[in-house]
Amino acid sequence: MPQLSLHSPLGPLTLSEEDGKIVALDWGRGRDQEETPLLLRARAMLDRYFDGEPECFDLPLAPFGTPWRQRVWEALRRVPYGTTVTYQDLARQVGGSPRAIGGAMAANPIPILIPCHRVLGKTGLGGYSGTGGLDDKRALLSLEGVELG
């Protein structure tokens, strides 16, 4: 499986590709590095994003998950740069409970590109599965210009 790493304000990140689609974005540097056209394009988009340029990440993604989680992640991809939704908002949109939405966010294999950092709790940040936890979530939201009270 081709992988390509990049430097980011959150530390090293590694993109993985399978069958012409991004299947994972992991914290840390991958052991094997292979520059494919898709991974180079994704890395360039992430570099621009981390430089503060709005990105829509129109990349072919293939996250592994249940059909319901796939619907949640697809809905999340439609949340625009610089905006947020609540777990409850997503639950109303795709069905399920806010807690189930939280489970789908925690299982997201392609964070940032599937922007789970844009999902907030009703009264707070909620959680975040990045290595830096809520600090990473705050950094990503701040990068997008989201002001947290």
- Whether 116 sits among the annotated catalytic residues: the reply is yes
Instruction: Please state, as a whole number, how many other Cβ atoms lie within 10 Å of the Cβ of residue 139.
Output: 18
Which of 72, 85, 101, 116 does the annotation list as catalytic? 116
Query: Reduced to 3 states, what is the DSSP secondary structure of residue 120?
Result: strand
Position 149 scores a pLDDT of: 67
Query: Global pTM?
Result: 0.93
In this structure, is the dihedral angle defined by the CA atoms of residues 22, 53, 120 and 128, taken in order, positive or negative?
positive
Q: Which residues, including other chains, have CB under 8 Å from residue 30's CB and lie 6 or more apart?
A: 3, 4, 5, 14, 16
Read off the pLDDT of each residue in 59-71 and give the average, rounded to a whole number. Answer: 96
Residue 132 has pLDDT above 90, yes or no: no
